[in-house]
Amino acid sequence: MKNARPKPPPSAAGVKVSYSFLKILTGSDLSRRRLPLMSAVSANPGPVVWLTACGHGDEICGIVIIQELFRKIRRWLRHGAIHAFPLMNPMGFETASRNITVSREDLNRSFPGELTGSLGKRMAHRIFSTIMETSPSLVLDLHNDWTKSIPYALIDRAAKGESFHRAAYEQTKRLAKQTGFVVIMDTDVLTTTLSHNLLLHDVPALTLELGEPYVINERNVEFGLGAIRNVLRYFEMIAQTEESFSYPLPPGYSRGHILRYSDKPHSSKSGILRFLVRPGDEVREAQPLARIVNAFGKHQETLRARGDAVVLGHTDVSVVFPGMPIMAFGMT
């Protein structure tokens, strides 16, 4: 009996792509406000990955990353399903505002939401319940940081007295390392974000911070696509022949090592800020980071690193007052 021929790998044929909307409210002029919803489902079963973007209306790069992914999805997807909310805060987006304009709420401080709560909580409930209905393997929430910042993967930290499901949390850490970005453990505990509440419900969830807000930076679009492609390769949802991605990190950074987020030191003087290091640089403990001078150019303060770190980004303005954070770091 002849040996059977090896089965070819599943093709992308049979990928069903659909676009729809979820209603969120009816305006006073009877117009309907809706959330766009995108889905790509392979004929071959597999993991379910969600992408969410523009929860903060001025953080818009994720919208285009999702659009570009779906342009390629029929060719890429071999197993499983990808769903996306590319524009979670359309009212904030239209006014370049972080918050939901009409209610002045931060959508990403409204989860898991409430069916009969405020507008922000109702929107959060609609989003959260829709995601949970699909039993997701991972949710990637796409955000932007300061104008001058490098992309990084951000992992939530449990609040005191809370505990994330161990398997989901360990999977989140593994997937963060797959992105090709610097991996950061948050030091703030934000219990009403999308990612935090997904982890509380045993769903791996990760935030990707993708550089500047307000405008589309095409390099950050490519970085975001690369990170998502890495995650899909890890899940074997796309062909392993797809090129892996790594962000050009400082030579001393041990890839995949989880760093601790810090926004210190803060300034103690007022004046004009002169930066001495750039986002992406490695710094050593006590290394000068920035100088503050007064209106006559006279030196007021030199801010120094609290420890060895990677510079994630710095403030968008050069005016500084006492107590202001001026930089963000991944501390080793």
- Phi-psi category of residue 30: left, alpha or beta, with phi > 0 → left and psi -120 to 50 → alpha: left
DSSP letters for 175-197: HHHHTSSEEEE-SS--TTSHHHH
Largest CA distance in the chain: 91
Residue given tokens 């400082």 in the structure block: 250
Please name the residues in contact with 222: beta carbons below 8 A apart, sequence gap of 6 or more: none
Q: What is the pLDDT of residue 137?
A: 98
Nearest to 85, CA basis, from 173, 176, 194: 194
- 332 residues of the chain, pLDDT tens digit each: 444 444 444 555 689 999 999 999 888 888 888 999 999 999 999 999 999 999 999 999 999 999 999 999 999 999 999 999 999 999 999 999 999 999 999 999 999 999 999 999 999 999 999 999 999 999 999 999 999 999 999 999 998 888 898 999 999 999 999 999 999 999 999 999 999 999 999 999 999 999 999 999 999 999 999 999 999 999 999 988 777 898 988 877 877 789 999 999 999 999 999 999 999 999 999 999 999 999 999 999 999 999 999 999 999 999 999 999 999 999 98
Report which DSSP code applies to 170: H
Q: At what angle do helices 166-178 and 218-234 cross, to 10 degrees?
A: 130
Residue given tokens 């919803």 in the structure block: 37
Q: Give the chain's length.
A: 332
Sort 6 into a burial class: Cβ within 10 Å, 0-12 / 13-18 / 19+: exposed
Q: What is the pLDDT of residue 242?
A: 73
Cβ-contact 26, 79 below 8 angstroms: no
Q: What is the pLDDT of residue 9?
A: 47
Cβ-contact 64, 72 below 8 angstroms: no
| CATH of the domain spanning 16-234, picked from 3.30.390.30, 3.40.50.300, 3.30.70.141, 3.40.630.10 | 3.40.630.10
Nearest to 238, CA basis, from 84, 81, 65: 81
> Per residue in 17-70, pLDDT tens?
999 999 998 888 888 889 999 999 999 999 999 999 999 999 999 999 999 999
Q: What class, spelled out in words, does domain 263-331 have in CATH? A: mainly beta
Nearest to 299, CA basis, from 313, 288, 287, 311: 288
Residue type, 175: L
Report the alpha-carbon angle 272-267-295, nearest 5: 20
End-to-end CA distance of the chain: 60
Boundaries of every domain in the chain: 16-234, 263-331
- Would you tell me how many other CB atoms lie within 10 Å of the CB of residue 34? 14
- Output the CA–CA distances (angstroms, integers) from residue 85 to 12, 13, 66, 147, in the order listed: 22, 24, 9, 24
- Would you tell me how many other CB atoms lie within 10 Å of the CB of residue 133? 8
Same fold, 16-234 and 263-331: no
Residue type, 155: I
Cβ-contact 196, 190 below 8 angstroms: yes
